[in-house]
Amino acid sequence: MQDNAIRSAARSGVRLERFTVGWMVLESIVALAAGITARSVLLTAFGLDSVIELISGGILLWRLSVEAKGGDVGRVEGVEARAAAISAVLLVVLSIYVVVTPVLGLLIHLEPAGSLPGIAISIAAVIVMPILARSKSRVNVTIRSGALKADIAETITCAYMAGTVLLGVALNFFLGWWWAEYLAALVLLIWLVPETREAILHARGEEPEDHD
């Protein structure tokens, strides 16, 4: 009976993760396109982080699918470990990008253009991500997956990052405070640095701090 409950919860997790993967595809495309078009470091960083989360979400979707079918997750763990290593490297590169590029942008006075698509995708993420995190948390009460627990933390992080992106892009669009985007990009480090640290620990096979 308990196995059936776990498989049922895992199937719900699969549906949620499918939505997550689809959302991250949309979010990364819109954010990157808007960031490149508007020369916005903030939006570009948000889009790149979405790509990293897409990789993580894709692996987790595979893992949950195997669990939902009652299969052996042993072979999945090898791929998951390699994906964790790739994500850790990408997050380190992204963190360096977020440190260096805003400073250069401020020094040379490179003004990013306003971006309505950037505002729209940020608003959508601020609404969608908390709802998605709560839904995943309910599923994880049953299956108690460490991988899903980490994914929930990433979803919450995405919500905070989206709020920061929205603030910076909106201040630039409505008030012309172009420098606010660079400051907001640096604020992203509040979430990027811990995310990067945990990704490195996970890639090394070490236990990261509790995500609760």
Residues 27-39 have pLDDT tens digits of 999 999 999 999 9
Please give the domain boundaries of the chain with CATH numbers for all domains: 2-203 (1.20.1510)
- The pTM (predicted TM-score) of the whole model is 0.86
Amino acid at 190: I
Closest by CA position to 91, among listed 126, 124, 45, 137: 45
Contact 170, 119 (CB under 8 A): yes
pLDDT confidence of residue 72 = 64
* pLDDT beyond 50 at 211: no
Residue 130, phi-psi category: left (phi > 0), alpha (psi -120 to 50), beta (remainder)? alpha
User: Rounded to an integer, what distance in angstroms lies between the CA atom of residue 110 and that of residue 193?
Assistant: 25
Contact 34, 121 (CB under 8 A): yes
Residues 49-80 have pLDDT tens digits of 999 889 888 888 887 777 677 666 666 667 66
- Top-confidence residue, 2 or 116: 116
CA dihedral 134, 94, 52, 34 (to 10 degrees): 90
User: Rounded to an integer, what distance in angstroms lies between the CA atom of residue 207 and that of residue 86?
Assistant: 18
